[in-house]
């Protein structure tokens, strides 16, 4: 498994949305420019390890999940609720499409 800026940015975006935050709120919390944060979410810009650590703590996920998309554990050792919600939402969408085909 390799680091992919676009996939990492997508996970960061999904976590932000799932936590009901705006790009402006996250950028302000991290003390960075909103446009820079936006480029991180789109995968056009990578970010420092320090920033990744802040994001993982903010969203309560491991760096491993944030960077590589692995594991369902949080930094505190519990389930990654954001990832679980994402998986459930995806499953619900699949079931709704299946139901429409019946």
For 67, counting Cβ atoms within 10 Å of its Cβ (0-12 exposed, 13-18 middle, 19+ buried), the class is: buried
The residues spanned by each domain of the chain are: 5-101
Query: Which pLDDT score is estimated for 93?
Result: 80
Residue 62 is predicted with a pLDDT of 85
Task: Confirm whether pTM is higher than 0.75.
Answer: no
Per-residue tokens: 84: 């679980």
Name the stretches of the chain with pLDDT < 70. Answer: 1, 71-83
Which is nearest to 12 in space by CA: 101, 35, 102, 51?
Answer: 51
Out of 1.20.1050.140, 3.30.70.1400, 1.10.10.10, 1.10.260.40, the CATH code matching 5-101 is 1.10.260.40
Cα dihedral sign, 10-82-3-75:
positive
pLDDT at 38: 96
């Amino acid at each position: 498994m390799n680091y992919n800026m676009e996939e990492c940015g997508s996970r960061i975006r999904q976590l932000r949305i799932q936590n009901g935050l705006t790009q402006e709120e996250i950028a302000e919390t991290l003390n960075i420019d909103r446009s820079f944060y936006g480029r991180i979410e789109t995968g056009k810009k990578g970010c420092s390890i320090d920033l990744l650590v802040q994001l993982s703590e903010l969203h309560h996920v491991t760096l491993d999940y944030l960077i590589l998309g692995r594991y369902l554990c949080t930094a505190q050792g519990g389930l990654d609720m954001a990832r679980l919600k994402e998986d459930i939402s995806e499953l619900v969408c699949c079931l709704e499409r299946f139901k429409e085909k019946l």
